[in-house]
Amino acid sequence: MSVGTMDELFVDELKDLYSAEKQITKALPKLAKGATSEELKMAFQSHLEETNGQIARLEQIFEILGKSPKGKTCVGMKGVLEEGSEMLEDTEKGEVRDAGLISAAQRVEHYEMAGYGSARDFAKLLGQSEIAALLDETLAEEKAADKKLTGISKQVNVAAKQA
Protein backbone atom coordinates (compact mmCIF):
# COMPACT_ATOMS: atom_id res chain seq x y z
CA MET A 1 0.00 0.00 0.00
CA SER A 2 1.60 3.26 -1.13
CA VAL A 3 -1.22 5.75 -0.67
CA GLY A 4 -2.03 6.52 2.95
CA THR A 5 -2.38 10.32 3.10
CA MET A 6 -4.08 13.04 1.07
CA ASP A 7 -0.63 14.25 -0.03
CA GLU A 8 0.15 10.80 -1.40
CA LEU A 9 -3.29 10.50 -2.99
CA PHE A 10 -2.77 13.91 -4.64
CA VAL A 11 0.57 12.84 -6.19
CA ASP A 12 -0.97 9.51 -7.23
CA GLU A 13 -3.82 11.33 -9.02
CA LEU A 14 -1.34 13.63 -10.76
CA LYS A 15 0.72 10.65 -11.96
CA ASP A 16 -2.47 9.11 -13.28
CA LEU A 17 -3.27 12.30 -15.22
CA TYR A 18 0.28 12.45 -16.56
CA SER A 19 -0.01 8.89 -17.86
CA ALA A 20 -3.44 9.66 -19.35
CA GLU A 21 -2.15 12.72 -21.22
CA LYS A 22 0.84 10.81 -22.56
CA GLN A 23 -1.46 8.10 -23.89
CA ILE A 24 -3.72 10.74 -25.47
CA THR A 25 -0.82 12.26 -27.44
CA LYS A 26 -0.30 8.86 -29.05
CA ALA A 27 -4.00 8.36 -29.84
CA LEU A 28 -4.94 11.79 -31.22
CA PRO A 29 -2.90 11.54 -34.47
CA LYS A 30 -4.70 8.26 -35.23
CA LEU A 31 -8.08 9.86 -34.61
CA ALA A 32 -7.15 12.84 -36.80
CA LYS A 33 -6.01 10.51 -39.57
CA GLY A 34 -9.21 8.46 -39.36
CA ALA A 35 -11.57 11.44 -39.41
CA THR A 36 -13.20 12.71 -42.60
CA SER A 37 -14.63 16.06 -41.52
CA GLU A 38 -11.95 18.74 -41.88
CA GLU A 39 -13.31 20.49 -38.82
CA LEU A 40 -13.00 17.30 -36.76
CA LYS A 41 -9.49 16.60 -38.06
CA MET A 42 -8.48 20.12 -37.07
CA ALA A 43 -10.10 19.76 -33.66
CA PHE A 44 -8.05 16.60 -32.97
CA GLN A 45 -4.87 18.25 -34.22
CA SER A 46 -5.33 21.39 -32.18
CA HIS A 47 -6.17 19.32 -29.10
CA LEU A 48 -2.91 17.44 -29.61
CA GLU A 49 -1.01 20.73 -29.36
CA GLU A 50 -3.07 21.66 -26.34
CA THR A 51 -2.34 18.27 -24.76
CA ASN A 52 1.41 18.83 -25.13
CA GLY A 53 0.93 22.07 -23.21
CA GLN A 54 -1.03 20.19 -20.55
CA ILE A 55 1.83 17.72 -20.17
CA ALA A 56 4.25 20.63 -19.73
CA ARG A 57 1.91 22.07 -17.08
CA LEU A 58 1.90 18.74 -15.21
CA GLU A 59 5.70 18.60 -15.41
CA GLN A 60 5.79 22.09 -13.90
CA ILE A 61 3.53 20.84 -11.09
CA PHE A 62 5.79 17.86 -10.38
CA GLU A 63 8.74 20.24 -10.24
CA ILE A 64 6.97 22.38 -7.66
CA LEU A 65 6.31 19.21 -5.65
CA GLY A 66 9.82 17.83 -6.19
CA LYS A 67 8.39 14.52 -7.41
CA SER A 68 8.71 12.41 -10.54
CA PRO A 69 5.69 12.30 -12.89
CA LYS A 70 6.46 8.73 -13.86
CA GLY A 71 5.60 5.36 -12.37
CA LYS A 72 1.91 4.94 -13.06
CA THR A 73 -0.28 3.77 -15.93
CA CYS A 74 -3.76 5.22 -16.17
CA VAL A 75 -5.67 2.01 -16.83
CA GLY A 76 -8.95 3.88 -17.21
CA MET A 77 -7.65 6.02 -20.06
CA LYS A 78 -6.11 2.95 -21.65
CA GLY A 79 -9.58 1.40 -21.81
CA VAL A 80 -11.26 4.55 -23.05
CA LEU A 81 -8.66 4.92 -25.81
CA GLU A 82 -9.00 1.25 -26.73
CA GLU A 83 -12.65 1.97 -27.42
CA GLY A 84 -11.53 4.75 -29.77
CA SER A 85 -9.28 2.28 -31.61
CA GLU A 86 -12.17 -0.18 -31.79
CA MET A 87 -14.30 2.54 -33.38
CA LEU A 88 -11.65 2.97 -36.08
CA GLU A 89 -11.58 -0.78 -36.68
CA ASP A 90 -15.36 -1.19 -36.72
CA THR A 91 -16.13 1.62 -39.16
CA GLU A 92 -15.10 2.79 -42.59
CA LYS A 93 -13.95 6.32 -43.30
CA GLY A 94 -16.98 8.61 -43.46
CA GLU A 95 -19.61 10.44 -41.47
CA VAL A 96 -20.76 7.49 -39.37
CA ARG A 97 -17.19 6.91 -38.22
CA ASP A 98 -16.83 10.62 -37.49
CA ALA A 99 -19.94 10.50 -35.30
CA GLY A 100 -18.43 7.51 -33.47
CA LEU A 101 -15.05 9.21 -33.09
CA ILE A 102 -16.68 12.27 -31.55
CA SER A 103 -18.51 10.05 -29.08
CA ALA A 104 -15.25 8.27 -28.20
CA ALA A 105 -13.32 11.54 -27.89
CA GLN A 106 -15.96 13.04 -25.61
CA ARG A 107 -15.50 10.05 -23.30
CA VAL A 108 -11.81 10.96 -23.13
CA GLU A 109 -12.62 14.58 -22.28
CA HIS A 110 -15.09 13.65 -19.57
CA TYR A 111 -12.65 11.21 -18.00
CA GLU A 112 -10.04 13.96 -17.94
CA MET A 113 -12.49 16.52 -16.57
CA ALA A 114 -13.25 14.20 -13.65
CA GLY A 115 -9.55 13.69 -12.94
CA TYR A 116 -8.57 17.34 -13.18
CA GLY A 117 -11.57 18.47 -11.14
CA SER A 118 -10.62 16.13 -8.29
CA ALA A 119 -6.92 16.99 -8.47
CA ARG A 120 -7.71 20.72 -8.49
CA ASP A 121 -9.88 20.30 -5.38
CA PHE A 122 -7.15 18.27 -3.64
CA ALA A 123 -4.62 21.02 -4.47
CA LYS A 124 -6.88 23.66 -2.95
CA LEU A 125 -7.45 21.54 0.15
CA LEU A 126 -3.71 21.02 0.57
CA GLY A 127 -3.00 24.75 0.27
CA GLN A 128 -1.27 24.39 -3.12
CA SER A 129 -2.92 27.39 -4.76
CA GLU A 130 -0.35 27.75 -7.56
CA ILE A 131 -0.89 24.11 -8.55
CA ALA A 132 -4.67 24.49 -8.25
CA ALA A 133 -4.52 27.40 -10.71
CA LEU A 134 -2.48 25.34 -13.20
CA LEU A 135 -4.92 22.43 -12.95
CA ASP A 136 -7.82 24.83 -13.42
CA GLU A 137 -6.29 26.08 -16.67
CA THR A 138 -6.17 22.54 -18.04
CA LEU A 139 -9.66 21.76 -16.75
CA ALA A 140 -10.97 24.79 -18.67
CA GLU A 141 -9.24 23.54 -21.84
CA GLU A 142 -10.77 20.07 -21.49
CA LYS A 143 -14.22 21.57 -21.01
CA ALA A 144 -13.74 23.77 -24.08
CA ALA A 145 -12.54 20.78 -26.12
CA ASP A 146 -15.64 18.84 -25.09
CA LYS A 147 -17.92 21.75 -26.07
CA LYS A 148 -16.17 22.08 -29.42
CA LEU A 149 -16.81 18.39 -30.11
CA THR A 150 -20.48 18.82 -29.23
CA GLY A 151 -20.60 21.69 -31.73
CA ILE A 152 -19.00 19.62 -34.50
CA SER A 153 -21.28 16.68 -33.75
CA LYS A 154 -24.36 18.73 -34.65
CA GLN A 155 -23.42 18.73 -38.35
CA VAL A 156 -21.61 15.41 -38.40
CA ASN A 157 -24.45 13.44 -36.82
CA VAL A 158 -27.01 14.82 -39.27
CA ALA A 159 -24.72 13.94 -42.19
CA ALA A 160 -24.14 10.49 -40.69
CA LYS A 161 -27.88 9.86 -40.46
CA GLN A 162 -28.17 10.41 -44.22
CA ALA A 163 -25.24 8.13 -44.99
Give the 3-state DSSP-derived string for the chain, with helices as H, strands as E and coil as C: CCCCCHHHHHHHHHHHHHHHHHHHHHHHHHHHHHCCCHHHHHHHHHHHHHHHHHHHHHHHHHHHHCCCCCCCCCHHHHHHHHHHHHHHHHCCCCHHHHHHHHHHHHHHHHHHHHHHHHHHHHHHHCCCHHHHHHHHHHHHHHHHHHHHHHHHHHHHHHHHHHC
Would you say 18 or 122 has its CB closer to Fe ion? Answer: 18
Closest to Fe ion by CB, 47 vs 96, is 47
Closest distance to Fe ion from the beta carbon of 150 (Å):
17
Q: Which stretch binds Fe ion (CB under 5 A): 48-56, 61-69, 81-89, 94-102?
A: 48-56
Q: In this chain, which of 54, 81, 95, 156 binds Fe ion, going by CB under 5 A? A: 54
Taking the least distance from each CB to Fe ion, the nearer of 107 and 159 is: 107
Toward Fe ion, which CB reaches closer, 90 or 150? 150
Quick one: which segment of 1-9, 44-52, 126-134, 153-161 binds Fe ion (CB under 5 A)? 44-52
- Specify whether the CB–CB gap between 112 and 20 falls below 8 A: yes
Smallest gap from Cβ 22 to Fe ion, in A, equals 10
Q: Which stretch binds Fe ion (CB under 5 A): 8-16, 53-61, 87-95, 124-132?
A: 53-61
119/160 with CB nearer Fe ion = 119
CA distance 90 to 134: 38
Q: Which residue is nearest to Fe ion (CB)?
A: 54
Q: Are 19 and 77 in contact (CB under 8 A)?
A: yes
x-marked contacts with Fe ion along 104-123 as a string, rule CB under 5 A = --------x-----------
Asked if 71 contacts 15 with a C-beta cutoff of 8 angstroms, the reply is yes
Nearest approach in angstroms of CB 50 to Fe ion is 7
